[in-house]
Amino acid sequence: MAIELRRMQPGDELEFSEIAPDVFDEPIHPGRLEAYLRRPGHLLILACDGDLVVGQCAAVLHFHPDKPTELYVDEVGTASTHLRRGIATAMLQAMFDWGRELGCTEAWLGTELDNVEANGLYRKFRPSEDEAIQYYLFALE
């Protein structure tokens, strides 16, 4: 069976019921998914093997007061049962296409330097690379 990519839209949140392990970091919370999809500029592409969700790519439009709008790819996940089939590459390409349709001329994302698989995937797109430090702030008080 071929993998189908679906651009999720508001109202699609109950369209699927089965999600393979490793696609998302945590279980889907229906209220959060609904809010995400209804928020302008929040984009989600699912990769489906029949009724089973086997991949996801989430991105947001990043607006600036002084630069063109960018596409920020926030998450890419593929089920461990479906790795090395080109699903993540196809989802990223579809997300970049969607970003271009919405007026983006650049896209960016980040990953850990030691994430070999992700770095290999992202290098397929011939990015400019910068080493960076990422800080995780857990409480906004």
Using alpha carbons, select from 117, 43, 126, 129 the residue that is nearest to residue 87: 117
Mean pLDDT of 56-72: 94
pLDDT, tens digit, for every residue of 70-101? 999 999 999 999 988 999 999 999 999 999 99
CA 61 from chain centre, in angstroms, equals 12
pTM here is 0.85
Give kind and range of the element (H or E) at residue 131. none
Tell me what pLDDT residue 60 has. 97
Report whether CATH 3.40.50.720 matches the domain 4-123: no
pLDDT, tens digit, for every residue of 1-49? 599 999 999 888 655 569 999 999 999 888 899 999 999 999 999 999 9
Using alpha carbons, select from 84, 72, 68, 86 the residue that is nearest to residue 43: 72
Residue 123 vs residue 70, higher pLDDT:
70
